[in-house]
Chain A
Amino acid sequence: MTRWVTVADLERCVGCQTCTAACRHANATSPAVQWRKVLDIEAGTYPEVSRTFVPVGCQHCADPPCMHVCPSSATRRRADGIVTIDYDICIGCAYCDVACPYQARFKIDAPRFAYGTTATRNEIEREDPGRLGVAQKCTFCSDRVDFGLANDLTPGVDPRATPACVNACIADALHFGDLDDPDSNVSRLLREQRHFRMHEEVGTQPGFYYVYAKADAPTPPVSDPAEEPVSAAPGLRTKGVEPWHQQHWDWKAAGNFICGGAGSGLFAFAAMASMQPDAPLALGWAALAIIALGLFLVLLKIGRPWRSLHVFRQPQRSWMAREAWIAAIFFPLAALAAWLESPAMMIPAATVGLGFLFSQAMILKEARGIPAWRTPRIVPLILITGLAEGSGLFLAVSALLPSLSQMVQMTAASAVTLAALRACAWRSYLGDLTKGGAPTRSLAVLDALRPWFFVLGLAVPSMLIAVAFLAPAVQTPLFFFAAIGIFAAGVALKLVVVTRAGYNQGFALAHTPVRGCGIAGPQVKPGWSRPRTR
């Protein structure tokens, strides 16, 4: 077997960015895109200063989250470990972008040129429209590797068979080779040197190793993430290293989570109400329209809307494809149930609708590049929030429609119960994030939401509903405004979680390199809160 990997020697890299330039040249990438780049971390104060340069890019993981989430099967992993993207299949949903913990993926929708609006002749000749609106990333120069193998050359040894960045390295810091061959250049290096892989804790098993000290060097201090002052190290200059906000999932993506939750929740309540005589079945149609609106918003967001049917291609792995399949079952079933006004069909349809809601929760959980989304506690939070939003909408309608007046008190009681459960799920979600450690800016955004969420989403609605039970004469407006509060808090929650708290993983080093003599330095993980242990 073959496993192609790259090894970056942190003791040798001088941060010249020649690899970056060589990659740009070899792959004709846009100025908005850097498949290979080099981070610059400076520590200490003058004159005791150290700098560490860290080449980053696609890590060609053995367990790549980008591939697992890809709904279209565009992202695949070859038997030799190279993770590939088929530009002709990709729909440009950018799910892989938020699933990658290494910020290795890019998507641009329009050509960009190095010097303003005018393209150079070289740029005109090499512009590839097939790469617009789809995901792109480092390919490990698979074309060069394949050329080499076809011509009996050894990748990593013969430059014609080796990635451009490795060829270009002036400091012999980048190496490429076969990890499964014990005699290969990279296997030998990894035997002779201490090394780590980035973000091991995420479990992606990258094919990218960082060498930081000789194997016989003194043992570096053990980095305990709870002990090391990783974020507040004095004089640490880490521009571009700490987490930044994900770029691709905007309010339209949040809109799908909002509409999907509110719609499937509302449909569940409409199904229960359908067992009552003369219940307004138009509610079922309204719920369907809300869900459809959410999916339509997504269609506006993706890079290649005309290929959107490719979303169905990969249900065996991707929760986004599963979401599409469940929607494809739910819509006809629910429409038929609403059309026939049949309670016996509304209930199974509502169950499928809850499956849709569950798939949305799983979509966020599987986005392993965003720490505030990937926690398992997001699943109950999204599920309960969807039901609470649905109950809010249903209560608002029940308060206004005489035909539902018999149910309104029961609806109010269940809405307030769901709001309380949602507050518990939110608390447990935030507690889990704080305990496990998260990007500090994600935590700041969520902390700022916390009081509003409590007041608007639970305290005020509970009070209004309590008063309404005591004073039935004014219950209509009280129930209505309580319902709006419960609904709006759910909307705000998802909008903030998706579009404001979605900071990515950033970059981190398990050790800083020796650089000459001495021992390797501690862990560097800027922009993260410390996990709270015990």
Chain B
Amino acid sequence: MNCGAADRLGIRDGDLVEVRSPLNHTKGRVMLCEGIRPDTLLMIGQFDHWVTPFAKDLAAPSMNALMPMLLELTDATGSSADLVKVNVTKIGGAP
């Protein structure tokens, strides 16, 4: 998340936030940096690990939780970017 945008929302590095799309919501810890657009969040955990025996329960935020994988929304390179409008709310401080 962009440092300046987080500052305006009262969010600090490591805070727990809830990210909500029109369909669903997920949560995770914020990492701040300058090199990202202020109006954008980047979520690395693109595919939720809900079945794989080892990688599940990693407490990583997931795009899957925010939106279904829709072919109409998937770009030609095969889902290198899934995009959805969200809002973000702080729900806890840094550990």
- Decide: B34 and A114 in contact? CB cutoff 8 A: no
Bound together, the chains give a CA A237 to CA B3 distance in angstroms of 11
Would you list 17 pairs from A and B whose C-beta atoms are within 8 A, ordered by A residue?
A42-B34, A42-B35, A44-B34, A45-B34, A46-B34, A46-B35, A46-B37, A46-B38, A51-B35, A115-B54, A115-B55, A116-B54, A118-B54, A120-B54, A235-B3, A237-B32, A237-B34
A 431-451 binary contact with B (CB < 8 Å = 1; else 0): 000000000000000000000
- Decide: A46 and B3 in contact? CB cutoff 8 A: yes
Q: Interface range on chain A: under 10, 10 to 19, 20 to 34, or 35 or more?
A: 10 to 19
Query: Which of chain B's residues have a CB closer than 8 A to the CB of A118?
Result: 54
Task: Say whether B84 faces chain A, with CB atoms less than 8 Å apart.
Answer: no
- Decide: A46 and B54 in contact? CB cutoff 8 A: no
With contacts A51-B35, A237-B34 taken as known, whether A45 is within 8 angstroms of B54 at the C-beta atoms is no
Which A residues from 40 to 64 make CB contacts under 8 A with B?
Answer: 42, 44-46, 49, 51
Q: Interface range on chain B: under 10, 10 to 19, 20 to 34, or 35 or more?
A: 10 to 19
Bound together, the chains give a CA A51 to CA B33 distance in angstroms of 10
- Decide: B4 and A46 in contact? CB cutoff 8 A: yes
Interface on A for B, CB 8 Å cutoff?
42, 44-46, 49, 51, 114-116, 118, 120, 235, 237
Bound together, the chains give a CA A49 to CA B36 distance in angstroms of 9
Best-surrounded residue of A44, A118, A120, A237 (most CB of chain B within 10 A) = A237
Which B residues from 25 to 61 make CB contacts under 8 A with A?
Answer: 32-38, 54-55
- Decide: B54 and A42 in contact? CB cutoff 8 A: no
Task: Say whether B2 faces chain A, with CB atoms less than 8 Å apart.
Answer: yes
- Decide: B33 and A45 in contact? CB cutoff 8 A: no
Query: Which of chain A's residues have a CB closer than 8 A to the CB of B38?
Result: 46
Query: How near does chain A come to B73, taking the closest CB pair, in angstroms?
Result: 26
Bound together, the chains give a CA A116 to CA B55 distance in angstroms of 9
Query: Which of chain B's residues have a CB closer than 8 A to the CB of A235?
Result: 3, 34
Query: How near does chain A come to B24, taking the closest CB pair, in angstroms?
Result: 26
Bound together, the chains give a CA A115 to CA B54 distance in angstroms of 6
B 48-83 binary contact with A (CB < 8 Å = 1; else 0): 000000110000000000000000000000000000
Query: Which of chain B's residues have a CB closer than 8 A to the CB of A237?
Result: 32-34
Best-surrounded residue of A46, A51, A116, A235 (most CB of chain B within 10 A) = A46
Choose one: B32, B34, B55; the contact of A49 (CB below 8 Å). Answer: B34
Query: How near does chain B come to A242, taking the closest CB pair, in angstroms?
Result: 15
Query: Which of chain A's residues have a CB closer than 8 A to the CB of B36?
Result: 46
